[in-house]
């Protein structure tokens, strides 16, 4: 099949790599060569030590560890970067009180020229973690924290049009990151799939 002409040479190289990946086993060196040819870069913030360790165990493609000014993970290169902010459930609630979440997402949106689909949040863990007492949050009952966490995710998705993913743990977060990298060429077509109405 001929790839769409609007795809860049780098995108075609990456798509070719993915098609071959299902046919032939490749060494890490071959994967790195394919990634370099495709121009895809994966960067993880150096402060996300547990995530870095988990990605090293599960991610089949190379990534670099850097001190990122914006986001916890960045996939791709300008102008097609995807910025990921990772939040544990308790941190999501806390960041609503100290306004860190607004600043972090504002910085991500600024980097993507306010393309909201290129900025996303991964919320990690269970709402039951809010039962654990934390400084500055003891005055807020569990039910109020739970509702705030759910309301924040709803507002981000429906009002602010910023995608939110839920994962159970670090392994789930790593899996989402890997999947986004693998789907990167399709995501960068920048055209949502057109769903047709059902024919009666």
Quick one: tokens of 159?
């009002």
Q: Would you place residue 80 in the very low, low, confident or very high pLDDT band (cuts 50, 70, 90)? A: confident
Residue 28: predicted pLDDT: 45
Q: Would you place residue 13 in the very low, low, confident or very high pLDDT band (cuts 50, 70, 90)? A: low
Examine the pLDDT at 78 and tell me if it is beyond 50: yes
Residue 187: predicted pLDDT: 83
What is the pTM for the complete model shown?
Answer: 0.77
Q: Which long-range contacts (CB under 8 A, 24 or more apart) does 184-188 make?
A: 184/14, 184/40, 184/75, 184/76, 184/82, 185/7, 185/11, 185/14, 185/15, 185/18, 187/82, 188/11, 188/76, 188/80
Residue 145 contacts residue 152 (beta carbons within 8 Å): no
Residue 25: predicted pLDDT: 43
């Amino acid at each position: 099949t001929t790839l769409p002409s609007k795809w860049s040479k780098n995108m075609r190289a990456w798509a070719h790599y993915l098609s071959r990946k299902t046919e032939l086993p490749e060494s890490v060196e071959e994967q790195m060569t394919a990634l370099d040819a495709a121009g895809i870069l994966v960067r993880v913030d150096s402060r996300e030590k547990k995530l870095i360790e988990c990605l090293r165990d599960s991610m089949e493609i190379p990534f670099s560890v850097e001190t990122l000014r914006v986001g916890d993970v960045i996939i791709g290169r300008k102008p097609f970067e995807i910025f990921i902010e990772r939040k544990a459930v308790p941190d999501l609630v806390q960041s609503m009180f100290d306004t860190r979440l607004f600043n972090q997402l504002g910085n991500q949106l600024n980097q993507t020229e306010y393309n909201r689909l290129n900025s996303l949040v991964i919320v990690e863990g269970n709402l039951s973690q809010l039962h654990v007492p934390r400084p500055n949050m003891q005055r807020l009952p569990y039910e109020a924290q739970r509702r705030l966490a759910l309301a924040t995710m709803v507002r981000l998705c429906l009002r602010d049009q910023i995608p939110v993913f839920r994962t159970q743990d670090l392994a789930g977060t790593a899996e989402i990151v890997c999947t986004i990298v693998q789907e990167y060429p399709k995501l960068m077509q920048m055209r949502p799939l057109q769903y047709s109405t059902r024919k009666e």
